[in-house]
Structure 1
Amino acid sequence: MIRGVLGLFAVTLLASCGPGGEESAGYVAVRQADSRPARELFSYVPDASEGRGQAFGGYARGCLAGAAQLPETGPTWQAMRLSRNRNWAHPAMVEFLQDLSRFAATQPGWEGLYVGDISQPRGGPVTGHASHQIGMDADIWMLPPDRLNLSAAERETVSSVSLRRAEGAYVNDAWTEQHWAILREAASDPRVSRIFLFPGAKVWMCDNETGNRDYLRQIRPWYGHYSHFHVRLRCPAGSPGCEDQTPPPPGDGCAEAREWQANILNPPPPQPPDPDAPPPEPRREITLGDLPAQCTAVLADG
Structure 2
Amino acid sequence: MIEARAPDPRPTSELMRLAKEDPRSLGSASIGSPTRGGLWGGVEMKDSEGIVRAGAYGWGTESVILSIERAVREVRRCHPDSPKLYVGDIARERGGWLRPHRSHQSGLDADIGYFYKTGSVWYQRATAENLDLPRTWTLIRALIEGGNVEMIFMDISIQRLLQKYFETLPEAERPQADLFESPLRKDALIRHTWGHASHFHVRFTDPAAVKLGQRIGRELQRIPKPRPPKPAPRRIKPRAR
Q: Structures share a fold, TM > 0.5?
A: yes
Is 1:100 aligned to 2:66, yes or no? Answer: no
Is 1:79 aligned to 2:38, yes or no? Answer: no
* CA–CA separation in structure 2 for the residues paired with 1:200 and 1:76: 26
CA RMSD of aligned residues (A): 2.9
Does the C-alpha gap of structure 1 residues 101 and 301 become closer, same or farther in structure 2, counting only changes over 3 Å?
Answer: same
What are the Cα deviations for residues 129-172 of structure 1, in whole angstroms up to 9, with x where unaligned? 0011111111111254957xxxxxxxxxx743211xxxxxxx43
**Residue of 216, 220, 242 corresponding to 2:191:** 220
Deviation at residue 62 of structure 1 after TM alignment: 0.7
Unpaired runs of 5+ in structure 1?
A: 1-48, 148-157, 164-170, 244-291
2:36 aligned partner: 61
**Mapped contact 2:50–2:73 kept (Cα < 8 A):** yes
2:146 aligned partner: 189
* CA–CA separation in structure 1 for the residues paired with 2:34 and 2:96: 9
Does the C-alpha gap of structure 1 residues 238 and 60 become closer, same or farther in structure 2, counting only changes over 3 Å?
Answer: closer
**Mapped contact 1:143–1:161 kept (Cα < 8 A):** no
Does the C-alpha gap of structure 1 residues 58 and 184 become closer, same or farther in structure 2, counting only changes over 3 Å?
Answer: same
Deviation at residue 53 of structure 1 after TM alignment: 0.6
Does the C-alpha gap of structure 1 residues 238 and 120 become closer, same or farther in structure 2, counting only changes over 3 Å?
Answer: closer
The code of the aligned residue for 2:151 comes to R
Does the C-alpha gap of structure 1 residues 215 and 109 become closer, same or farther in structure 2, counting only changes over 3 Å?
Answer: farther
**Mapped contact 1:58–1:242 kept (Cα < 8 A):** no
Is 1:199 aligned to 2:156, yes or no? Answer: yes
* CA–CA separation in structure 1 for the residues paired with 2:50 and 2:122: 19
**Mapped contact 1:88–1:120 kept (Cα < 8 A):** yes
Does the C-alpha gap of structure 1 residues 173 and 61 become closer, same or farther in structure 2, counting only changes over 3 Å?
Answer: same
* CA–CA separation in structure 2 for the residues paired with 1:109 and 1:294: 43
Is 1:301 aligned to 2:224, yes or no? Answer: yes
1:281 aligned partner: none
**Residue of 89, 95, 98 corresponding to 1:123:** 95
Deviation at residue 123 of structure 1 after TM alignment: 0.7
Q: Which moved more, 1:205-214 or 1:186-195?
A: 205-214
**Mapped contact 2:90–2:111 kept (Cα < 8 A):** yes
What are the Cα deviations for residues 66-124 of structure 1, in whole angstroms up to 9, with x where unaligned? 111112x212212124xx3x111100011011101112223365234211101100111
* CA–CA separation in structure 2 for the residues paired with 1:160 and 1:224: 10
* CA–CA separation in structure 2 for the residues paired with 1:143 and 1:176: 5
The code of the aligned residue for 1:219 comes to I
Please state whether the residue corresponding to 2:95 is helix, strand or coil. Answer: coil
2:130 aligned partner: 174
Does the C-alpha gap of structure 1 residues 104 and 299 become closer, same or farther in structure 2, counting only changes over 3 Å?
Answer: farther
Does the C-alpha gap of structure 1 residues 179 and 233 become closer, same or farther in structure 2, counting only changes over 3 Å?
Answer: same
Please, what TM-score do these two structures have when normalized by structure 1?
0.54
* CA–CA separation in structure 2 for the residues paired with 1:70 and 1:186: 16
1:160 aligned partner: 123
Is 1:138 aligned to 2:95, yes or no? Answer: no
* CA–CA separation in structure 2 for the residues paired with 1:111 and 1:204: 21
Please, what TM-score do these two structures have when normalized by structure 2?
0.66
Deviation at residue 186 of structure 1 after TM alignment: 2.1
Please state whether the residue corresponding to 1:195 is helix, strand or coil. Answer: strand
What are the Cα deviations for residues 202-221 of structure 1, in whole angstroms up to 9, with x where unaligned? 12333443523164431111
**Mapped contact 1:63–1:295 kept (Cα < 8 A):** no
What are the Cα deviations for residues 15-50 of structure 1, in whole angstroms up to 9, with x where unaligned? xxxxxxxxxxxxxxxxxxxxxxxxxxxxxxxxxx86
**Mapped contact 2:71–2:143 kept (Cα < 8 A):** yes
Unpaired runs of 5+ in structure 2?
A: 1-22, 181-187, 226-241
| Identity score, percent | 24
Deviation at residue 300 of structure 1 after TM alignment: 4.5
